[in-house]
Amino acid sequence: MAKAKSTHTAPVCHTRQIKMGQMRYDYRRKDRSQAKVPWLRLQGHWLERAGFAIDAPVTVRVMAGCLVLTTQET
């Protein structure tokens, strides 16, 4: 018995290189000074193509040296 052709293709994995930035942050500092903290900004049509629609909830899993972003596809 022949198998039907599948129209589903496996997602393609792409690597993007970005640079960690910094921003000043004064939340809950007793001396009211500002501390530098790491900062990332992700934007672009590639996010939507990867399944991250505008206003979609995103879960961030944090591990040493690794962040994993996941969303529920609608």
Q: Tens of pLDDT along the chain (74 residues)?
A: 556 565 666 566 788 888 999 998 776 767 777 788 899 999 999 899 889 999 999 999 999 999 999 998 65
For residue 30, what pLDDT is reported? 72
State the Cα–Cα distance between residues 17 and 59, nearest whole angstrom: 21
Pairing label, strands 66-71, 35-39:
unpaired
The terminus-to-terminus CA distance of the chain in angstroms comes to: 35
Nearest one of 44, 47, 46, 45 to 58, comparing CA atoms: 47
